[in-house]
């Protein structure tokens, strides 16, 4: 069992930055790939970024490449999402998830989810 708690969301102007954190419980954090997804009102949950167990490989949605960076600290059981050059279209609830099966870009592959943190980017 893995419990995830996101933090770091808020209101920011376009062009600004935020860093999201996702703290995980349990001693098996390093065995999971971690992903960030987001969901805007009236839209489906969409993939943002993922990082494999040991943090060597990452994957990003085209819409955030070059602006967002995912990282993890297995010693702290935490995954981060650094978001720079934010745009109004980045506004959404951001969720972190944990998976130990292939398919990190697909939300249904994730067994565990946090409660989400709101990110609002004003124009």
For 11-28, what is each residue's pLDDT tens digit? 999 999 999 999 999 778
What integer is the mean pLDDT of 37-53? 95
3-state secondary structure of 27: coil
CB 39 within 8 Å of CB 92: yes
Residue 43 has pLDDT above 90, yes or no: yes
Average pLDDT over residues 76-103: 96
Q: What is the model's pLDDT at position 55?
A: 66
Q: How far apart are CA 80 and CA 101, in angstroms?
A: 21
Mean pLDDT of 58-78: 96
> Could you give the CA distance from residue 89 to residue 54 in angstroms, rounded to a whole number?
31
- How confident is the model over 34-43, as a mean pLDDT? 96
Look at strands 78-83 and 68-73 and give their pairing.
Answer: antiparallel
Q: Which of 69, 70, 81 is nearest to 19 (CA)?
A: 81
pLDDT at residue 101, rounded to an integer: 87
For residues 89 and 39, what is the distance between their CA atoms, to the nearest angstrom? 11
Q: What are phi and psi of 97, to 5 degrees?
A: -140, 160
């Amino acid at each position: 069992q893995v419990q995830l708690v996101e933090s770091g969301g808020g209101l920011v102007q376009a062009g600004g930055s935020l860093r999201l954190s996702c703290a995980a419980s349990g001693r098996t954090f390093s065995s999971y790939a971690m992903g960030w997804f987001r969901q805007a009102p009236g839209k489906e949950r969409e993939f943002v970024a993922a990082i494999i167990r040991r943090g060597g490989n990452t994957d990003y949605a085209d819409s955030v490449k070059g602006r967002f960076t995912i990282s993890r600290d297995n010693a702290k059981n935490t995954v981060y999402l650094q978001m720079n050059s934010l745009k109004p279209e980045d506004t959404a609830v951001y969720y972190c998830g944990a998976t130990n099966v292939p398919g990190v870009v697909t939300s249904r592959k994730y067994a565990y989810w946090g409660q989400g943190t709101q990110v609002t980017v004003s124009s």
